[in-house]
């Protein structure tokens, strides 16, 4: 019985942490500049 209670508490804590992370992570805007650019001339070396 003790093992079952500990397992249920662990699952509850895990669910609580997942819910907090989901609510906290609002996403945001990806960067609008930077990234890959085409190389030419001396940049190729």
- pTM for this model (two decimals): 0.51
pLDDT of amino acid 22: 84
Q: What's the confidence (pLDDT) of residue 45? A: 64
39: left (phi over 0), alpha (psi -120 to 50) or beta: beta
Question: What pLDDT is stored for residue 2 in this prediction?
Answer: 93
pLDDT of the chain, 45 residues: tens digit per residue: 999 999 999 999 999 999 888 887 766 676 677 777 777 777 666
Predicted pLDDT of residue 11:
97
In 3D space, the residue among 6, 4, 26 whose CA is nearest the CA of residue 14 turns out to be: 6
């Amino acid at each position: 019985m003790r093992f079952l209670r500990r397992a249920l508490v662990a699952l509850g804590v895990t669910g609580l942490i997942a819910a907090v992370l989901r609510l906290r992570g609002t996403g945001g805007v990806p960067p609008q500049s930077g990234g890959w650019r085409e190389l030419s001339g001396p940049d190729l070396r």
